[in-house]
């Protein structure tokens, strides 16, 4: 687990840092994106926690900034971004609750343009979570599926989507599942086209 | 259960063929009296309406004070153990058992060092004894120690699967310590309130809303007939760690740690410890 975590974080870092010169220079990527989600977040206690509840409910809010988008053909694109989420403490049960935390990290997504209006996404992220009362750090491996439906026309520079993400957070001590609703926006860069005179 | 011990003479402790001489300290009695009154106040109908019985074990020099002293002939350690065993059945799954200890602690598995009045030799309560005593108690347990090297009682949270086999982590038992396992815990006379406290207890009291302002005085009855002397009880107080209707262990830990770090500027000098992991304990709830 520790080795795979290290390998994944190294890979993500290389992709994110390596992509910076691409969009700082000329256009291998001509698009970037932002997304924001509001989610129900359910933490599933492990057996050793001896928790009386099978799942602890939180609210989570956050998003991803995707500075690097790599088209692969006409219908597939690969994107890398930076994600940040805040998850509230769980609903109180008895004399306990589960602590609130923040999580930041890098993500990679693959988008499949199923139709002009609908996009399917599969992605993964490696996040560093921090429980806010104790400042305790905990690595999180996130797996995400999302469906996105276009709200605006393809020809526009800013294209808005409504999205429904479903995700799993894997920690070494417990697993969380979450789902919700969000919006994303893909912004095409203004690229001057060369013309013969 | 509140335990506060005065050490108004130097005591010696024998452990592992070594003898440790511990200096006199006078802050613990004031710590424990104020902690006891503050928590009893918070439990009352005036604030959080949380019932429950309490016992205050205090040993101090002034035998004429209207505070029931521990019967020194029985030894403090025996008294504490007897209390644990005698009361563990009365605590239900929905209750919280709280132990707050202020006094000396030593390195090498000596988190609590209790002394008998007039005796130059102290007795050690080990981490295993503390955890074994609370194990049969139903409900959630919180153990707060304001003593040197008190971080040694705080269990490691078993984040990795192989750490769970060790079995030192006890679910439902929470710890809060004044210092890390290798650090001493300090006390001082605080000018603004004109009496002594351990730094940890001073900020713990502030965290739960004890503002030391003498808006009222009270003679409280705690536990089995022990009485507090007249002591200041705050009137309307603010609760800096009341967050969304609950006062949690994590928020109290954060409050104390922030004051140590940013006000006292103690980065590595004295760092409180608490039980890590995702689960937090609610001490008071509106």
What does the alpha-carbon distance between residue A44 and residue A48 come to, in Å, rounded to a whole number? 12
Nearest CA in chain A to B241: A133
pLDDT at res. B63? 36
Q: Which residues contact A125 (CB under 8 A, 6 or more apart)?
A: A83, A105, A106, A107, A108, A140, A141, A142, A144
| Interface touch A133/B248, C-beta < 8 Å | yes
pLDDT at res. A64? 95
Within 10 angstroms of residue A52's Cβ, the number of other Cβ atoms is 10
Q: Please name which of A131, A118, A116, A108 lies closest in space to residue A43, comparing C-alpha atoms.
A: A131
> With an 8 Å Cβ cutoff, is A29 touching chain B?
no
Q: Please name which of B108, B110, B89, B111 lies closest in space to residue B178, comparing C-alpha atoms.
A: B111
A71-75, A186-190, B151-155, B277-281: the lowest-pLDDT one: A186-190
A56-72/A76-87 β-pairing: antiparallel
Q: Please name which of B283, B252, B242 lies closest in space to residue B178, comparing C-alpha atoms.
A: B252
B96-102/B140-146 β-pairing: parallel
Predicted confidence (pLDDT) per residue in B48-62, tens digit: 777 776 766 665 544
Residue B9 has pLDDT above 60, yes or no: no
> Using an 8 Å Cβ cutoff, are B98 and B249 in contact?
no
> With an 8 Å Cβ cutoff, is A51 touching chain B?
yes
What ipTM is given for this predicted complex? 0.84
Q: Which residues pair with A157 in a beta bridge?
A: none
Contact list in A for residue B164 (CB cut-off 8 A) is: 48
What does the alpha-carbon distance between residue B138 and residue A42 come to, in Å, rounded to a whole number? 27
Q: Which residues contact B128 (CB under 8 A, 6 or more apart)?
A: B109
User: Which of B171, B274, B281 is the closest to A48 by Cβ?
Assistant: B171
Distance from CA of B159 to the nearest CA of A (A): 5
Contact list in A for residue B254 (CB cut-off 8 A) is: 132-135
The larger pLDDT score, comparing residue B195 to residue B260, is at B260
pLDDT at res. A16? 62
The larger pLDDT score, comparing residue B159 to residue B230, is at B159
Where does the pLDDT of residue B180 fall: very low under 50, low under 70, confident under 90, or very high at 90 and above?
Answer: very high
pLDDT at res. B43? 79
Distance from CA of B279 to the nearest CA of A (A): 5
User: Which of B140, B159, B278 is the closest to A99 by Cβ?
Assistant: B278
Within 10 angstroms of residue B146's Cβ, the number of other Cβ atoms is 30
Contact list in B for residue A89 (CB cut-off 8 A) is: 244, 280
Q: Which residues of B192-213 are buried (b: 16+ CB within 10 A; e: fewer)?
A: ebeebbbbbbbbbbbbbbbbbe
Report whether CATH 2.40.160.20 matches the domain A2-196. yes
pLDDT at res. A55? 96
pLDDT at res. B134? 81
Percent of chain B with pLDDT over 70: 72
User: Low-confidence residues of chain A, pLDDT below 50?
Assistant: 23-28
| Interface touch B171/A131, C-beta < 8 Å | no
Contact list in A for residue B169 (CB cut-off 8 A) is: 48
What does the alpha-carbon distance between residue B57 and residue B55 come to, in Å, rounded to a whole number? 6
What does the alpha-carbon distance between residue B203 and residue A2 come to, in Å, rounded to a whole number? 38
**What does pLDDT average to over chain B?**
77
pLDDT at res. A46? 93
Give the domain ranges of chain A: 2-196
Nearest CA in chain A to B97: A95
User: Which of B158, B244, B274 is the closest to A48 by Cβ?
Assistant: B158
pLDDT at res. B70? 39
Nearest CA in chain A to B50: A95
> With an 8 Å Cβ cutoff, is A49 touching chain B?
yes
> With an 8 Å Cβ cutoff, is A41 touching chain B?
no
pLDDT at res. B34? 81
Percent of chain B with pLDDT over 90: 19
Contact list in A for residue B277 (CB cut-off 8 A) is: 49, 136, 173
Contact list in A for residue B281 (CB cut-off 8 A) is: 95-96
Q: At what angle do helices B127-134 and B76-87 cross, to 10 degrees?
A: 30
pLDDT at res. B88? 73
The larger pLDDT score, comparing residue B116 to residue B18, is at B18
Residue B73 has pLDDT above 50, yes or no: no
| Interface touch B253/A133, C-beta < 8 Å | yes
> Using an 8 Å Cβ cutoff, are B286 and B276 in contact?
no
A95-109, B199-213, B249-263: the lowest-pLDDT one: B199-213
Where does the pLDDT of residue B65 fall: very low under 50, low under 70, confident under 90, or very high at 90 and above?
Answer: very low
The larger pLDDT score, comparing residue B32 to residue B148, is at B148
pLDDT at res. B48? 73
Within 10 angstroms of residue B55's Cβ, the number of other Cβ atoms is 18
Per-residue tokens: B199: 């730094």
Question: 3-state secondary structure string, chain B?
Answer: CEEEECECCCEEEEECCEEEEECCECHHHHHHHHHHHHHHHHHCCCCCCCCCCCCEEEECCCCCCCCCECCCCCCHHHHHHHHHHHHHHHCCCCCEEEEEEECEEECCCEEEEEECCCCCEEEEECHHHHHHHHCCCCCEEEEEEECCCHHHHCCCCCCCHHHHCCCCCCCCEEEEECCCCCCCCCEEEECCCCEEEEHHHHHHHHHCCCCCCCCEEECCEECCCEECCCEEECCCCCCCCEECCEEEHHHHHHHHHHHHHHHCCCCCCCCCEECCCCEEEEEEEC
Q: At what angle do helices B199-207 and B249-258 cross, to 10 degrees?
A: 130
User: Which of B172, B276, B281 is the closest to A50 by Cβ?
Assistant: B172
Where does the pLDDT of residue B80 fall: very low under 50, low under 70, confident under 90, or very high at 90 and above?
Answer: confident
pLDDT at res. B177? 95
| Interface touch A48/B279, C-beta < 8 Å | no
Inter-chain contacts counted by CB atoms under 8 A, chains A and B: 74
Predicted confidence (pLDDT) per residue in A126-170, tens digit: 999 999 999 999 999 999 999 999 998 877 778 899 999 999 999
Per-residue tokens: A159: 């294209």
Question: 3-state secondary structure string, chain A?
Answer: CHHHHHHHHHHHHHHHHHHHHHHHCCCCCCEEEEEEEEEEEEEECCHHHCCCCCCEEEEEEEEEEEEEEEEECCCEEEEEEEEEEEECCCCCECCEEECCEEEEEEEEEEEEECCCCEEEEEEEEEEEEEECCCCEEEEEEEEEEEEEEECCCCCCCEEEEEEEEEEEEECCCCEEEEEEEEEEEEEECCCCCCCCC
Tell me which residue has tokens 């709830």.
B285
pLDDT at res. A110? 94
| Interface touch B161/A89, C-beta < 8 Å | no
Distance from CA of B39 to the nearest CA of A (A): 16
| Interface touch A174/B278, C-beta < 8 Å | yes
Residue from B165, B278, B279, B286 whose CB has the most chain A CBs within 10 Å, to mutate: B278
> With an 8 Å Cβ cutoff, is A173 touching chain B?
yes
């Amino acid at each position: 687990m520790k080795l795979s975590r290290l390998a994944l974080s190294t890979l993500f870092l290389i992709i994110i840092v390596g992509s910076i010169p691409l969009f700082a220079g000329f256009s291998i990527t001509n698009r970037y994106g932002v997304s924001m989600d509001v989610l129900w977040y359910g933490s599933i206690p492990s057996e050793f926690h001896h928790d009386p509840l099978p799942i602890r409910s939180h609210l989570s809010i956050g998003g991803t900034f995707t500075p690097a988008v790599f088209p692969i053909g006409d219908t597939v694109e690969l994107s890398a971004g930076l994600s940040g989420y805040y998850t509230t403490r769980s609903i109180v049960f008895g004399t306990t609750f589960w602590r609130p935390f923040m999580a930041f990290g890098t993500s990679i997504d693959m988008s499949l343009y199923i139709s002009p209006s609908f996009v399917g996404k599969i992605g993964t992220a490696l996040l560093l979570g921090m429980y806010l009362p104790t400042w305790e750090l905990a690595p999180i491996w996130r797996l995400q599926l999302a469906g996105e439906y276009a709200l605006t026309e393809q020809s526009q520079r800013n294209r808005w989507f409504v999205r429904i993400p479903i995700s799993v957070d894997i920690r070494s001590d417990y697993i969380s599942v979450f789902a919700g609703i969000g919006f994303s926006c893909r912004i095409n860069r203004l690229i001057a086209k060369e013309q013969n005179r | 259960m509140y335990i506060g011990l005065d050490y108004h003479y130097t005591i010696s402790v024998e452990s592992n063929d070594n003898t440790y001489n511990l200096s006199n300290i006078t802050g613990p009695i004031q710590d424990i009296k104020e902690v006891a009154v503050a928590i009893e106040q918070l439990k009352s109908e005036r604030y959080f309406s949380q019932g429950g019985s309490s016992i205050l074990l205090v040993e101090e020099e002034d035998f004429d004070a209207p505070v029931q002293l521990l019967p020194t002939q029985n030894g403090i350690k025996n008294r504490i153990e007897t209390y644990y065993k005698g009361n563990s059945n009365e605590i239900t799954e929905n209750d919280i058992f709280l132990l707050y200890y202020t006094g000396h602690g030593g390195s090498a598995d000596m988190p609590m060092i209790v002394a008998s009045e007039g005796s130059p030799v102290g007795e050690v309560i080990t981490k295993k004894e503390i955890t074994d005593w609370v194990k049969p108690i139903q409900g959630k347990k919180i153990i707060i120690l304001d003593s040197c090297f008190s971080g040694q009682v705080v269990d490691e949270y078993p984040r990795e699967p192989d750490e769970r086999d060790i079995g030192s982590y006890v679910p439902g038992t929470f710890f809060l310590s004044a210092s890390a396992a290798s650090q001493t815990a300090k006390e001082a006379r605080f000018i603004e309130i004109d009496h002594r406290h351990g730094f940890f207890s001073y900020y713990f009291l502030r965290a739960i809303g004890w503002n030391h302002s003498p808006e009222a005085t009270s003679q409280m009855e705690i536990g089995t007939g022990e009485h507090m002397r007249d002591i200041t009880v705050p009137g309307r107080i603010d609760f800096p760690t009341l967050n969304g209707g609950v006062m949690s262990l994590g928020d109290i830990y954060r409050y104390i740690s922030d004051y140590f770090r940013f006000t006292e500027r103690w980065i590595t000098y004295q760092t409180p410890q608490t039980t890590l992991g995702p689960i937090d304990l609610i001490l008071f709830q509106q």
